[in-house]
Chains A and B, each alone.
Chain A
Amino acid sequence: MTIAIRGVATQTDITGATRSPVVTKPSGVVDGDLILLFCETNTVANFASPVAGFTIIGAEVDGGTSSSALYYKIASGEPTTWTLTNIFAQTEKAMFVAIAYSGVDQANPINAVGAQTFLTATALSGPSCDPTVVDCMIVQFAGTDPGAGAFAGTPDTSPVGTERFDSKNTAGDNAEYIFIQEWLSAGTHAAIALDVTGLTSASYTYHQIAIAPVGAITYTKAGGATSPLVANGMDVDIYSELSTGLAIGVASGSKLREYAPRYGEAVLSAIASGADVIEFVESGLSLSELIASGADVIEFSEIGVAILEGIASGQDEITFAEIGVAILDAISSGADVIIFSETATGIMRASGSGFYELGGGIVYEKSGLAVSALVGVGNDTSIFSEGGVGASIFVSSGIRALEFTKIGGAVLIPSSLASDIIEYVESGMPILITVGSGISELTYQRNEKAGVAILMASGVGVDAVTLNKSGIGIMILGVDGSVSTYSVGNPFFELYRMQIWMLP
């Protein structure tokens, strides 16, 4: 960073004699800037050092009529003004100029100092200083107490100096004059003496310094990138806390993604054979697309949202220890299971052509909502330990069962052979629609308490609604051809409290 003046050189006239003048800070100064404070008095002053945090660079007396001093400090939370307590050994009138620079080496701001001196002349040189590093800012200060009359100076022409201050204090009975110029020793360093010419002949004290640029910085850095590669074999990612995991496996083997103590979000897309597992100890959001053979499992110890799309053979399983939302889209053979220990919403869809054994089950320990669309062969069961709403659509042969330990609502549309059952230990409202040819056995095994039953049967076999207590049964039989038996007498319909029947 190149050294540059900050704001403008700022003059403060001390027109009333004091040992502790108040001096104004240049505008725009920020922490880290170098502040140079130059003072000219009309007497022989004994300058204190340090004062108000300033360090003296040098002081010079011209032999008895005036004196000057140059101070510096690195800005750090500077006030608008500084009170220079007892900067003078005795009360003085004076003139101060404060000038600030940015880009200065804060640790060692003054690289070189010329031997301040005094001279009665119209031109001054230096005093020369010899900086040891490149890019120093060379600054020359000159001052006198000339009395009445106009004073001015001309900055150096070779090298070309930049005048930063050239003014005389005419306030009160003061008559101090200060000249400041600078030159940037860009890219080089050598002994240098700036010249100021065109001065009115007087006795001048003058100083020259080299300001060091901010030191070059050596950065030592490290870094890198990571890419997850997916290949054959067991792939495991374990997250201790909240994490987002994306695992795409196109391989054979087992993919395991574990979120150990807490929760996370995982996307596991595995096209492979073998066991693929996503495990959450707490809550999580899991999206798993499994097109593979083998057992695919998503497990949540607490709540979770899981989407498991399994197109495979083997057991696909989503397990929630507490509540959760699961969508299991399984096109496979084998047992596919969604298990909720508490409440949950489960959507399970299984479809397949040919000979598929779908032993799909949705098990809710408490209440839940299940939508199970099963096209297959085998035992498909939704079990609710408490309340629940189950919609089960079966287009297949096999045994379909919706079981409610307590209350529940069920819609069961089977078109199949064998026994399809809706069972309520307590009350419930089942709607059973059968549209099938051949032998359809539809049995309401039990409704031990109150309930409402709607039975639309178009089939052959024994269809029964049994209400052990109160209930409403609606049975619609629309059957062409032979209808074998509707057993009324065993009893055909038993409604102990109320009976409403509609028979076509």
Chain B
Amino acid sequence: MAEIFVDEGLDTIHGVFPKNGSNFASLYIGLFTSQTATTVPARTATGGAAPSGWVEATGTSYARQAIAAASWGAPSTDGNGRKITAGQVTFPTVGAGGWGTANGFFIATMVSSQAGDKIIYFANFDDLTAAVLNVNDIIKVTPSMKFDG
């Protein structure tokens, strides 16, 4: 599985700690249709009003889903680091026309692409299989993140 904390995501984390910037009550999870089921955007990919280096899913009923801070569970040891996992997120039922092929998901700071939106990380799905999202399909994603020591 490919995954990456992009530069602006790391900067965002640094901005909160140790620089004591404003934290986020919620983060948002979305789906990307660019790259492949085993590759993710480059570290230089950005969000904002005009995302660069990647393409977000679109289609009837598609929307990023909020992950409240409280949704993240307790950190636990995983390999050489500590991992934290959020509750499973269920996206809306795919509407007419479908959403395309989701090769993975991302965590962002805002509910949609707009000025100030920062991407924290991109990740493929653990099973390395894309989700072909046709009408009436439902996709549920359990996101996690980990910091190695």
Q: Which residues of A contact B (CB under 8 A)?
A: 1-2, 135, 187, 214, 216-229, 231, 233, 235-237
Q: In the complex the two chains form, is A222's CB within 8 Å of B142's CB? A: yes
Known: A187-B96, A237-B80. A225 touches B4 (CB 8 A): yes
Tally of contact residues, B, Cβ under 8 A: 42
Q: In the complex the two chains form, is A224's CB within 8 Å of B3's CB? A: yes
CB distance from B91 to the nearest CB of A (A): 9
- What's the Cα separation between A195 and B52 when bound, in Å? 53
Q: In the complex the two chains form, is B3's CB within 8 Å of A1's CB? A: no
Q: Which residues of B contact A218 (CB under 8 A)?
A: 137-140
Known: A222-B142, A223-B104. A229 touches B134 (CB 8 A): no
Question: Which partner residue on chain A sits nearest B40 by CB separation?
Answer: A225
Question: Which partner residue on chain B sits nearest A237 by CB separation?
Answer: B80
Q: In the complex the two chains form, is B131's CB within 8 Å of A226's CB? A: no
Q: In the complex the two chains form, is B122's CB within 8 Å of A225's CB? A: yes
Q: In the complex the two chains form, is B148's CB within 8 Å of A221's CB? A: no
- What's the Cα separation between A219 and B94 when bound, in Å? 11
Number of A-B contacts (CB under 8 A): 103
Interface string of B74-85 (1 = CB under 8 A from A): 000000110101
Q: In the complex the two chains form, is B125's CB within 8 Å of A223's CB? A: yes
**B42 is an interface residue with CB less than 8 A from chain A:** no
- What's the Cα separation between A430 and B100 when bound, in Å? 74
Q: Which residues of B contact A235 (CB under 8 A)?
A: 149
Q: In the complex the two chains form, is B142's CB within 8 Å of A226's CB? A: no
What are 16 A-B residue pairs whose CB atoms fall within 8 Å in the complex?
A1-B98, A216-B135, A216-B137, A217-B138, A218-B137, A219-B131, A221-B126, A221-B131, A221-B142, A222-B142, A222-B144, A223-B1, A223-B142, A224-B85, A227-B121, A229-B149
**B111 is an interface residue with CB less than 8 A from chain A:** no
Question: Which partner residue on chain B sits nearest A247 by CB separation?
Answer: B148
CB distance from B71 to the nearest CB of A (A): 14
CB distance from A327 to the nearest CB of B (A): 29
Q: Which residues of B contact A236 (CB under 8 A)?
A: 80
Q: Which residues of B contact A135 (CB under 8 A)?
A: 135-136
Q: Which residues of A contact B3 (CB under 8 A)?
A: 223-226
- What's the Cα separation between A2 and B97 when bound, in Å? 9
Q: Which residues of A contact B83 (CB under 8 A)?
A: 224
- What's the Cα separation between A237 and B149 when bound, in Å? 9
- What's the Cα separation between A228 and B5 when bound, in Å? 10
- What's the Cα separation between A264 and B74 when bound, in Å? 34
| A-B CB proximity, top 8 nearest | A224-B144, A216-B136, A225-B121, A225-B3, A223-B123, A222-B142, A219-B139, A221-B125
Known: A224-B3, A225-B121. A219 touches B140 (CB 8 A): yes
Max chain A Cβ within 10 angstroms of own Cβ: one of B94, B126, B134: B134
A contact patch SS = strand
Q: In the complex the two chains form, is A226's CB within 8 Å of B146's CB? A: yes
Question: Which partner residue on chain B sits nearest A226 by CB separation?
Answer: B146
CB distance from B108 to the nearest CB of A (A): 13
Q: In the complex the two chains form, is B105's CB within 8 Å of A221's CB? A: yes
Question: Which partner residue on chain A sits nearest B3 by CB separation?
Answer: A225
**B141 is an interface residue with CB less than 8 A from chain A:** yes
Q: Which residues of B contact A221 (CB under 8 A)?
A: 105, 125-127, 131, 139-142
- What's the Cα separation between A214 and B133 when bound, in Å? 12
- What's the Cα separation between A1 and B143 when bound, in Å? 27
Q: Which residues of A contact B10 (CB under 8 A)?
A: 227
Q: Which residues of B contact A1 (CB under 8 A)?
A: 98, 134-135
- Picked from B80, B124, B132, B137, the residue with its CB within 8 Å of the CB of A223 is B124
Q: Which residues of A contact B144 (CB under 8 A)?
A: 222-224
Interface string of B98-113 (1 = CB under 8 A from A): 1000001100000000
Q: Which residues of A contact B27 (CB under 8 A)?
A: none
- What's the Cα separation between A235 and B147 when bound, in Å? 13
Question: Which partner residue on chain B sits nearest A238 by CB separation?
Answer: B80
- What's the Cα separation between A223 and B143 when bound, in Å? 5
- What's the Cα separation between A225 and B10 when bound, in Å? 12
Question: Which partner residue on chain B sits nearest A233 by CB separation?
Answer: B149
Q: In the complex the two chains form, is B142's CB within 8 Å of A214's CB? A: no
- What's the Cα separation between A221 and B85 when bound, in Å? 13
- What's the Cα separation between A219 and B99 when bound, in Å? 13
Known: A218-B137, A223-B143. A228 touches B123 (CB 8 A): no
**B145 is an interface residue with CB less than 8 A from chain A:** yes
Question: Which partner residue on chain A sits nearest B79 by CB separation?
Answer: A226
Q: In the complex the two chains form, is B141's CB within 8 Å of A225's CB? A: no
- What's the Cα separation between A228 and B82 when bound, in Å? 10
Q: Which residues of A contact B121 (CB under 8 A)?
A: 224-225, 227
Q: In the complex the two chains form, is A223's CB within 8 Å of B139's CB? A: no
Q: Which residues of A contact B85 (CB under 8 A)?
A: 224
Q: In the complex the two chains form, is B125's CB within 8 Å of A227's CB? A: no
CB distance from A259 to the nearest CB of B (A): 14
